[in-house]
Amino acid sequence: MQPVEIKKDIFWIGYVDYDHRDFHGYSRSPDGSTYNAYLIKDEKNVLMDTVASGCEGTLLCRMAKVLDPEKIDYIVCNHMELDHAGALETIVERCKPEKIFVSQAGLKSMAGYFACKDWPVQAVKSGDTVSIGKRTIVFQETRMLHWPDSMVSYIPEERLLVSNDIFGQNIASSARFVDDFGDDSEYLRRVKEYYYNIVLPYSPMVLKTLPIVEQLDIDMIAPDHGLIHRGEKAVRNIIDMYRTMAEQKPQQRALIFYDTMWQSTESMAYAACSGLEENGVPTRIMSVKSNHHSAVMTELADCGAVLAGSPTHNNTILPLVAAQLTYMKGLRPLNRVGGAFGSFGWSGEAPKQLQEHLAGMNMEMPAEPVKCNWRPDRDVLKACHELGKTIAETLKKKCQEG
């Protein structure tokens, strides 16, 4: 339980949760995550964020390797969600800080979670500063990234941004820094997974916040989940990646997700895939029985087209497809081309309903849904192939337009 010194007299003292599998409704298997907390030793000793409930013993043990917990003067709560603040009550009782800093909106969430009426709480707003000795903390509210109470803390003397939920990933590892992780593709996938399952709906706020971050002199970004971005190149890379994901410019790749009862809709999915691929659009097919809804959303990060397939079941869409659509709609993807298909026996409502769901997400729908009574014959499979071709042509045009 050793702390990790990330800069001179600044320590990571968080918790690595290898077993946690559900995070904000999405699955992170096979990894867990980290709840990152940071300790700054100065004339005023500062704890930046805490950890989830049940993890406070590890945090206090790591803290004690640096200084006595009762010597903590200030606690900064950049965000009151319980993966960051679940241990706060125990930590306040043990450390007895002089002040606890939260955002203006954080007062409400703190009062909602804790009996904190007698705590020494001070609300701060963007631009407020506090001197802790050799260093200064500058607060910047980042409302709706991803809660109204979210903020970040900047220490200019150290060129360090403690960034709360933004720029994070869910990775459980003994590595603390991106450059120590050793698997670039997995790191990039985890960044996309985190963004597309949590941050995506707030992309307009990301685009407003990035210019503020870029005005700061930073050579390290320390998020509250996952690996720390160390060095100017790493900082530039994650900022650029966030901008790309937030802009959601169409990419020439497609995603097909579906469910099937007797493989008719599955056959249609593969026929549509052939129409896409033969017309220059690489495609990933994902069964919602075999893939968690968060994995489907992560795949969407690189796809400018989305096709949904379901047989008709009780006059509607199969439940797992309906759940995927509901989850996707809440995350508000933009600038996509959509398509729908499905089979039926006695009634055939599902394809039209799928079409309406995708259109309701403001997707461009260049073709009518394809539906099949019973098993798909040659004509139906040809129609699915044509659906893929039409979507491919529409997507390529959309990509060329930018």
> What is the tens place of the pLDDT at every residue in 99-139?
999 999 999 999 999 998 899 999 999 999 999 999 999 99
Instruction: Single out the catalytic residue among 5, 9, 24, 270.
Output: 24
84 is annotated as an active-site residue: no
Query: 182 falls in which pLDDT band (50, 70, 90)?
Result: confident
Is 24 tagged catalytic? yes
Report residue 29's pLDDT band, with 50, 70 and 90 as the boundaries.
low
Of 17, 31, 56, 83, catalytic: 83
Overall average pLDDT of the 290-319 stretch: 96
Instruction: Report pLDDT for 394.
Output: 98
Q: Provide the pLDDT for residue 347.
A: 87
The conformation of residue 62, written as its DSSP 8-state character, comes to: H
- Is the pLDDT confidence value at 235 over 60? yes
- Asked if 357 is an active-site residue, the reply is no
Q: Is 183 designated active site? A: no
Catalytic residue among 194, 195, 196, 258: 194
In this predicted structure, the answer to whether residue 286 has a pLDDT above a threshold of 70 is yes
- The arrangement of strands across the sheet holding 121-124 comes to 4-7, 10-12, 38-40, 46-48, 74-76, 99-103, 121-124
Report residue 65's pLDDT band, with 50, 70 and 90 as the boundaries: very high
What pLDDT is stored for residue 109 in this prediction?
93
Beta-bridge mates of residue 398 = none
With beta carbons less than 8 A apart as the criterion, state whether 52 and 86 touch. Answer: yes
Q: How far apart are CA 153 and CA 148, in angstroms?
A: 16
Q: Which position among 146, 293, 357, 385 bears the catalytic label?
A: 146
Residue 31 is predicted with a pLDDT of 74
Instruction: Output b/e per residue, 212-231; b: 16+ Cβ within 10 A.
Output: ebeebebbbbbbbbbbbbbe
pLDDT above 90 for 43: yes
Q: Is 83 a catalytic residue?
A: yes
Given 81, 149, 266, 364, the catalytic residue: 81
242 is known as an active-site residue: no
According to CATH, the superfamily of the domain at 4-247 is Ribonuclease Z/Hydroxyacylglutathione hydrolase-like (3.60.15.10)
Give CATH superfamily name and number for 255-401.
Flavodoxin domain (3.40.50.360)
Given a cut of 70, whether residue 21 has pLDDT beyond it is no
Domain definitions of the chain by residue range: 4-247, 255-401
The fraction of the chain above a pLDDT of 70, given in percent, is 98
Strands (E), 254-360: 254-258, 283-287, 305-309, 312-313, 316-317, 337-344
225 is catalytic: yes
pLDDT in tens, 164-178: 999 999 999 999 999
What are the pLDDT digits (tens) for 327-379?
999 999 999 999 999 999 988 899 999 999 999 999 999 999 999 999 999 99
User: Which residue in the list 17, 42, 73, 165 is annotated as catalytic?
Assistant: 165
Per-residue confidence (pLDDT) for residue 27, from 0 to 100: 58
Model pLDDT, residue 146:
86
Task: Catalytic residue, from 17, 26, 79, 364: name it.
Answer: 79
Query: Quick one: average pLDDT of 282-309?
Result: 96
Is residue 311 over pLDDT 80? Answer: yes
Tokens (6 digits) for 136: 């200064």
pLDDT of residue 370: 97
In which band, very low, low, confident or very high, does the pLDDT at 402 lie, cut at 50, 70 and 90?
confident
Average pLDDT value for the chain: 95
Does residue 184 carry a catalytic annotation?
A: no
